[in-house]
């Protein structure tokens, strides 16, 4: 099945734009992890909606600026600029990130997040949903990965609509993806297979927009991002200084 097709499963050309949803733990993860894929979809005239789930935060790199209202406002501003530059739709969810919710009951948080996402998905009716694989064991990333699987279990989305993206910059660390894949497969009892997406045509834009998130990333993070995207070209047998890829994972058996 061509996941970037402009037709429905019945072969009918849809009058409205097809929609893809990206579940982004924080305001930066979507662009940094699959900004090239987002760019590809938009060029193909699809509508992309990024759900910024844990968008209430006090975390920025500079310790002196870690004040919740200020940090949240700063990061909202970065995300607004990024969405304008890349031309995707943004949506902010009112959930605190792990940095703020310290003693919250994880089960209650997960339930509330799932309910809110499910309501929005029913409204957007996406043809595909991108969710974090959970590489790096960041609490918010893992929670959103688990939420995506719950959405499959309760049939809000089909398992073949779900694409798991490699969380960056965590995935750029040695053996991080392999550990993430093994952990996911063991936890959910599924098998995953990779799919490489050529994002070379959109990579310059991705790098420019990634640089908007100055509260989160430095120049070394951006170098790691570029080197990782180039390293994936080896798996596509297209090694070149000018070829860049992103990788997503799909469920092939349950």
> Does position 111 have pLDDT exceeding 80, yes or no?
yes
Q: How far apart are CA 123 and CA 246, in angstroms?
A: 28
Which tokens is 13 given? 């050309």
Mean pLDDT in residue range 136-154: 95
- Tens-place pLDDT, residues 70-80: 999 999 999 99
Q: How far apart are CA 14 and CA 164, in angstroms?
A: 25
In the structure, what pLDDT confidence band is assigned to residue 253 with cuts at 50, 70 and 90? low
* Residue % of the chain over a pLDDT of 90: 78
CATH number of 19-253: 3.40.50.10320
Mean pLDDT in residue range 123-151: 96
Mean pLDDT in residue range 211-234: 92
Q: How far apart are CA 167 and CA 173, in angstroms?
A: 11
- Tens-place pLDDT, residues 54-100: 999 998 888 888 888 899 999 999 999 999 999 999 999 999 999 89
Segment among 5-9, 160-164, 232-236 with least mean pLDDT: 5-9
Which tokens is 35 given? 């900004």
DSSP-derived 3-state class of residue 22: strand
> What is the C-alpha radius of gyration for the chain, rounded to an integer number of angstroms?
17
Mean pLDDT in residue range 17-30: 96
Mean pLDDT in residue range 216-235: 91
- Tens-place pLDDT, residues 173-219: 999 999 999 999 999 999 999 999 999 999 999 999 999 999 998 88
- Domain chopping of the chain, boundaries: 19-253
Q: How far apart are CA 164 and CA 212, in angstroms?
A: 24
Average pLDDT, the chain: 90
């Amino acid at each position: 099945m061509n996941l970037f097709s402009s037709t429905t499963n019945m072969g009918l050309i849809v009058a409205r734009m097809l929609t893809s949803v990206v579940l982004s733990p924080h305001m930066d993860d979507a662009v940094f992890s699959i900004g090239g894929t987002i760019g590809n979809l938009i060029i193909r005239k699809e509508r992309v909606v990024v759900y910024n789930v844990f968008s209430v935060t006090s975390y920025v790199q500079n310790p002196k600026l870690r004040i919740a209202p200020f940090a949240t406002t700063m990061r909202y501003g970065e995300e607004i600029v990024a969405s304008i530059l890349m031309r995707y739709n943004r949506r902010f969810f009112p959930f605190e990130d792990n940095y703020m919710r310290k003693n919250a009951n994880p089960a209650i948080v997960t339930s509330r997040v799932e309910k809110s996402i499910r309501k929005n998905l029913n409204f957007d009716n996406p043809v595909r949903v991108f969710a974090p694989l959970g590489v790096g064991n960041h609490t918010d990333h893992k929670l959103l990965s688990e939420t995506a699987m719950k959405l499959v279990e309760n049939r809000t989305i089909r398992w073949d609509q779900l694409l798991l993206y490699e969380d960056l910059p965590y995935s750029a660390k040695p053996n991080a993806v392999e550990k993430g894949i093994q952990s996911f497969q063991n936890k959910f009892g599924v098998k995953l297979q990779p799919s490489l997406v050529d994002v070379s045509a959109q990579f310059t834009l991705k790098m420019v927009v990634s640089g908007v998130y100055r509260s989160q990333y430095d120049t070394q993070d951006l170098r790691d991002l570029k080197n990782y995207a180039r390293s994936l070209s080896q798996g596509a047998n297209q090694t070149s200084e000018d070829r860049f890829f992103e990788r997503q994972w799909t469920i092939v058996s349950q």
